Chain A
Amino acid sequence: MFSLQNQLELRKVTISSLITCIYLPSIITVISYKGILYSVGNGSSCFVLALIFVAELLKSFYLNSSSDIQAKKNKANKNIAGDILRGFVFLLCVKFTFFVGIILFGAPVLDCHEETLMLSLLLTLLTVFPLLLHTGVESSLQLLFGIRNYGKNTVIEMLVNNALLTVCGAWVGAVVIPLDWNTPWQKWPIPCYLGAIGGFVLSNTREYILSSLNLTQESTEPPIPEYNLRQKT
């Protein structure tokens, strides 16, 4: 049973990270073909975030669609509208935290608020939002502050890893800003924005490779117990 559960989770992780590896780069490719890659910092390119939002939402439906009846019952008991509201407020808080954090790290204090806001929105969408959808407000808070350990839960592990690498990607993206190359993509916040997306995709690729390796390993393993079983009978 446990192995089956694990297998299921692994498959989920593999497929969802594969989907991410496909949909995010394709969004970036499309907008760069449209020539609006360098306006991702403007409010007008909000639709990119909307697309990511929808994609993450769909992904989370897939991730949450567990056969676990217990969990379904739990969810049904709760007030959905209240949950959504609380989640929304939580996301807002996280976004504000990101916003302040980015400014503390060196973003302009008095201007470029729109750009910083877009970046913090993206970071929220890529880091906390999937976690929130998967586990809910309380446990994502606990996970964030390291109070709860995610143990052997591969999906949550994947989500937390994604979040960490996304933030690292945004951090690394800032490296190119001071260079005097005068290219359009050095404008705030494009390097960090693309860095965050790059970190997210990188993390997902890593997850995909690791989990698919594990999957193939486990799918080669089963014949042995089966053989044993037959011998017993």
Chain B
Amino acid sequence: MKEKWNFILYLVWFAYLILSAVLMFGHGFLLSRKTLSDVTECVPLDNFGCDGHENSTVKGYCDEEEKIRRIVAVPGGPLACVPKQSRVVFLLVDALRYDFTEYDESIVKPLPYQNRLPVMREMLDRWPDRTRLYRFMADPPTTTLQRVKALATGSLPTFIDASSNFAAMELQEDNIIDQVTRNGGRAVLLGDDTWSRLLPKRWLRSHAMYSFHTWDLDTVDNEVDAKIYDELRRDDWNLLVAHYLGVDHAGHRYGPNHPEMTRKLDETNIRLKKVISMLPPDVLLFVVGDHGMTENGDHGGESKAERTAALFAYRGAGLAGTGVDLMIGKEVQQTDLAPTLSAALGRPPPAPSLGHLLLPVLPQASKSHTLLHITNNLKQITQYMIRYGEESQQVSLDRLAHLINTTREQLHKAASIETDDDLNNYAADVRALVDNVRNVFREVWVEFDSLSMLRALLLLLLAIFFNWLITEGIPMERLPNVFASTFVPTGLISMAVCIGVCYTAFYFKFLEDLEHAIILSTGLISASVTCVLIIMHWDGIAQRWYEGRSQFYERFARAALAASAAVLVSNSYIIEEGATLAFLCMTVLGLMAWNIGNFTALLYWIACGVAFAATRSYRGCREEQGDCWTAGAGVPTGQSSRPALVLGMGTVAAVVAICRRHVGWRGYCTVVAGLLACSHWATGYGSLGSPSRAKLLARAAWLVLAVMLALLWKREGRGATLPLMAAGLMLFVANTLVLGVSYAPAAVLSLVLACLALNIVARLKSDGSTKFSLATRCNSSVACMWALLASYAFYGTGHHATLGHVRWAPAFHAGDPNYLDIGPPITASLVSLELFGTMLAFGAAVPLLALWGQNGAAKVGPRTQLAAVFSLCLKFMLCFAIRVFACAISATIHCRHLMIWGVFTPKLLFEAGACAAALVGTVFGATLVAWHLPTQHRSS
């Protein structure tokens, strides 16, 4: 049985090929923009001569007004600092959605988040000239790190940054804090430590606190409150940044429709009142939300509710702006804040900023000062475009040159501004121009590395094609011989040689991108090795295909999988994928039941249908779905209701109690783990519960699960079926633990569905002899059906392929891992287990499809058994690889689609995650089988 481990190694090899190609695709697809380390400098007015040139030789005296006119008349000159500056208080209320700030007396029964900030309306009514309230439109991705970056730099964050959300890195670009400190100004930071991680060592005083305790609603806010009033009394700072997190955390934990949100907003109201009353009249106050939230309190995507934040500005001594500027709720872009803030602080806009000045939220300034601000803004943007054109070819040169020329023309016009009307028109022109520039960059910054994307697609295609030939072509009885030969070692050695060559080339600097080269070369060499294998066995393949004819249900199952992959090209089907998968699964299972053709199969099929219908109530709802969204389905489940608790505990306990009888002595571990999970929920429930004890119980459950994992490897010599079932149960209990009590019944339903499908598969008709029955059991249609079910389980357990639907609560159910050194990996693994745990379990259970039941493979010799399990596992992995391939193709096709960041990219990410989980699970299951198989008795 020397081929035993070759089978497993081959599965690992295949998983590596698929995942590395997906990784490569991700590298090409999720590209960020080029960050430039340029810094905007401005020259003080004193250094200008009266002719408007820096260090001019023309001597003489002129007043400031005259000088600025001259400076403006020199379009190519450097930026000049505006002498007037004011201090700024920048209050960032995380996730302050615009409609939280609205006040409407006519609402009879306000929702928990409505009419909670009356102070804003009061101010607007009393002093319309001192106060502004705008819609503050964020760009996706609407995660706090990206928003803070955007607010500080005035640029557009890109999607790739979303992945570094848990490890904020120092900002490499010019930003407002740097602008302030460069001029000797001082900045003070209170609150969220995202700022201090992005911009360390810039602060005069910094009271930053850890921001990812999303269940902690008050600590950060109280700390900020304790400091902010003292800070307001001082005057040694120019910029005070205070970042409150309570509203965001209330949204994450409870959603906006919860009394806790009312409490946090009321607190914000009192805080604002106090701050405004203490504010010196010449200090500018900005109260800003960095993003909104969905009706579930999540954010990250690009829905309107997530993008619409609020901007409230107040200055005791009055603000500029007339007419339409006073309109409440006007839409302004978040990129505009950085140039505006730096203008208020008397600094030029940060170098990467692509915003224009929001004049109505700045203090009244003289015409010449305003003009100077506007020309500074234009000069900075021109400079940025020139530099960006030098550094990167993302924007086509023609386009960039056109934009640069337009801004230069606009700069030339500045000299001819005389009246206020002229100035207003000019400001409007500049606004339009900057918006245009911004849109051009916005379009292009979703720039893809098409070469590596195409290579990754090619690698995926090669791996899928040759492995499809291996599983569907090479006859099953030849498989043990193939894998007993030197095929797998040859492949692995050639891959090792490739890696060695690549590394050497990298070491001697022949190569720049090591990872890319390794992935490409190993992918190609594996494809050629498998190709050689195919050619060597072509006679067998041809014969099998010539003889083989498949039944209708088999062809239909394959077609269903292909269809489920093909419809990923359409956004509507991605949005409704849960229903689509259920529909396809039902049909495939129905045809299988029809093939069996007895009453039991019909009953199983009906039970499947009922289970599908029951999971429907757990299916989430995403904003694009419309109907259920507006009906308020899936409204915040911060705390589960009492019936949900009873249902969750009851179902899990029932499953554990029933299943323990069927897995031998390992059942006791299952029972203990299940009971610990149930008591964890019961103890942590409601206000009477004890969170600390609940966490302890959860840890105990994890400990039992770890013991169970270790016990899985105890050999008994009774075949692999029992350990496999125990492994499935273990993953199930782990899954319910992270899913939480309200979704535990959904996991139970997935388990029931899996059992029913197993039973249907076990009854499939075959032509009598074990050989043929094995061929039926290891048919690709079975693998396709299983893959469809596994993909459905993702939706059936209440997930959706949007970033907003990622639940962070599971990371904290057994205590806060961030206090540990290994916190981030634990958080990541718990959250991904919550998302893809069902795929992992389905993957681990794949060998059961071949082994389970009366006519299963458990009766035949270990060599055949292992070959059957291997071929089924490879087919299942192929199904997921095909789905990922379809996702990648659709992302490539739609890379300029309106919904690329809202629908297709998240789907690609989640499908890649699902694929990885399924591959890992399958390898785990196959290893378990190989470990537990008795060694061949030569005599028999």
Which chain A residues have a beta carbon within 8 Å of chain B's beta carbons?
101, 103-106, 109, 146, 171, 174, 178-180
A178–B606 contact, CB under 8 A? no
Contact in complex: B570, A146 (CB < 8 Å): no
CA distance A128 to B571 in the complex (A): 38
- The 3 A-B pairs of least Cβ separation, nearest first, read A104-B609, A178-B576, A180-B572
- Whether the pair B606, A179 counts as a contact (CB closer than 8 A) is no
Q: Is the CB of B610 within 8 A of A104?
A: yes
Residues of A within 8 Å of B579, CB to CB, are 106, 178
B572 touches A178 (CB 8 A): yes
What is the minimal beta-carbon distance from A159 to any residue of chain B, in angstroms?
A: 19
A109-B616 in contact (CB<8A): yes
Q: Does B580 contact A (CB under 8 A)?
A: yes
Min CB gap B645→A, angstroms: 23
Task: Assess whether A178 is in contact with B610, with CB atoms less than 8 Å apart.
Answer: no
Closest CB of chain A to B404's CB: distance in Å?
Answer: 40
Q: Does B219 interact with chain A (Cβ within 8 Å)?
A: no
A146 contacts across to B, CB distance below 8 A: 597
* Known interface pairs A104-B612, A105-B583, A178-B572; 11 further A-B residue pairs with C-beta atoms within 8 A, sorted by A's residue number: A103-B613, A104-B609, A105-B587, A106-B612, A109-B616, A146-B597, A178-B575, A179-B570, A179-B573, A180-B572, A180-B575
Shortest distance in angstroms between A75's beta carbon and chain B's nearest beta carbon?
A: 32
Contacts of A178 in B (CB 8 A): 572-573, 575-576, 579-580
State the CA gap A179–B583 with chains docked (Å): 15
The one of A104, A171, A174, A180 that contacts B613, using a Cβ cutoff of 8 Å: A104
Segment 574-619 of B: residues with Cβ below 8 Å from A: 575-576, 579-580, 582-583, 586-587, 597, 606, 609-610, 612-613, 616
- In the complex, A170 Cα to B652 Cα: how many Å? 38
Q: Which residues of B contact A174 (CB under 8 A)?
A: 583
Flag if A105 contacts B609 (CB, 8 Å). Answer: yes
Q: Kindly state the separation between the CA atoms of A171 and B572 in the bound complex, as whole angstroms.
A: 18
Within 8 A of A (CB), among B229-277: none
6 CB-based A-B contacts, threshold 8 Å: A105-B583, A106-B579, A106-B582, A178-B573, A178-B576, A178-B579
Q: Which residues of B contact A106 (CB under 8 A)?
A: 579, 582-583, 586, 612
In the assembled complex, how far is the CB of residue A158 from the closest CB belonging to chain B, in whole angstroms? Answer: 20
Q: How far is the CB of A105 from chain B (nearest CB, A)?
A: 5
Secondary structure class of chain A's binding surface, majority of residues:
loop
Interface centre among A105, A109, A146, A179 (most CB of B within 10 A): A105
B interface: dominant SS: helix
Q: Within the assembled complex, what's the spacing in Å between the Cα atoms of A106 and B579? A: 7
Cβ-defined contact, A105 with B572, below 8 A: no
Smallest CB gap from A174: residue in B: B583
Q: Residues 548-586 of chain B: 1 if any A CB is under 8 Å from the residue's CB, otherwise 0? A: 000000000000000000000011110110011011001
Decide: A171 and B587 in contact? CB cutoff 8 A.
yes
User: Does A105 lie within 8 Å of B575, measured CB to CB?
Assistant: no
Q: Which of B576, B606, B613 contacts A109 (CB 8 A)?
A: B613
Residues from chain A with a CB closer than 8 A to the CB of B610 are: 104
- Are the CB atoms of A104 and B575 closer together than 8 Å? no
Q: What residue in chain B is nearest A105 (Cβ atoms)?
A: B586
- Give Cα A104 to B587, complex, Å: 10
Which residue in chain A gives the minimum CB-CB distance to B611? A104
Chain A contacts for B597, CB-based, 8 A: 146
Query: In the complex, what distance in Å separates the CA atom of A106 from the CA atom of B586?
Result: 9
Residues of chain B with a CB closer than 8 A to A105's CB = 583, 586-587, 609
Closest to A108 in B: B616
Closest to A179 in B: B572
Please, how many angstroms separate the alpha-carbon atoms of A180 and B624 in the complex?
9
Nearest CB of A to B590, in Å: 9
Residues on the B chain within 8 Å of A101, using CB: 609
CA gap between A95 and B181 in the complex, in Å = 78
Q: Which residues of the partner chain A approach B571 to less than 8 Å between Cβ atoms?
A: 180
B586 touches A104 (CB 8 A): yes
Contacts of A109 in B (CB 8 A): 613, 616
Give A174 to B609 CA distance when docked, in angstroms: 17
Chain A nearest CB: distance from B522 CB in Å?
39
State in angstroms the CA–CA spacing of A106 and B608 once bound together.
Answer: 12
Question: How far, in Å, is A104 (CB) from chain B's closest CB?
Answer: 3
Residues in A whose Cβ lies below 8 Å from that of B572: 178-180
Whole-angstrom distance from the CB of A226 to the nearest CB of chain B?
43
Residues from chain A with a CB closer than 8 A to the CB of B582 are 106
Kindly list chain B residues whose C-beta atoms are within 8 Å of the C-beta of A171: 587
Residues of B within 8 A of A104 (CB): 586, 606, 609-610, 612-613
CA of A180 to CA of B899, assembled, Å: 13
What is the bound-complex CA distance between A103 and B583, given in angstroms?
11
In the bound complex, CA of A178 to CA of B597 (Å): 32
In the complex, what residues of A have CB within 8 A of residue B580's CB? 178
Q: Least Cβ distance of A191 to chain B in Å? A: 13
Give the docked Cα–Cα distance between A179 and B567 (Å): 11
Q: How far is the CA of A101 from the CA of B572 in the complex (A)?
A: 24
Closest to B609 in A: A104
Distance between Cα atoms of A174 and B584 in the complex (Å): 11
Q: Residues of A contacting B613 with CB < 8 Å? A: 103-104, 109
Query: Which residues of chain B from 133 to 148 have a CB within 8 Å of any chain A CB?
Result: none
- Distance from A91 Cβ to chain B, minimum over Cβ atoms (Å): 20
Nearest residue, chain B, Cβ from A181: B572
A146 nearest CB neighbor, chain B only: B597
Q: Which residue of B lies closest to A104 (CB)?
A: B609
Smallest CB separation, A149 vs chain B (Å): 14
* A61 to B866 CA separation, bound complex (whole angstroms): 61
Closest CB of chain A to B2's CB: distance in Å?
Answer: 48
How far, in angstroms, from A105 to B612 measured CA to CA in the complex?
9
The residue in chain A whose Cβ has the minimal distance to the Cβ of B617 is A109
A180–B616 alpha-carbon span in the complex (Å): 20
Q: Once the chains are docked, how many angstroms separate the CA of A29 from the CA of B580?
A: 31
Nearest CB in chain A: distance from B783 CB, A? 23
CB distance from B564 to the nearest CB of A (A): 12
Q: Which residues of A contact B612 (CB under 8 A)?
A: 104, 106
B154-176 CB contact bits vs A (8 Å, 1 = yes)?
00000000000000000000000
What chain A residues lie within 8 Å of B583 (beta carbons)? Answer: 105-106, 174
Interface 1/0s, chain B 614-628, versus A by CB < 8 A? 001000000010000
| Residue in chain A with minimal CB distance to B594 | A146
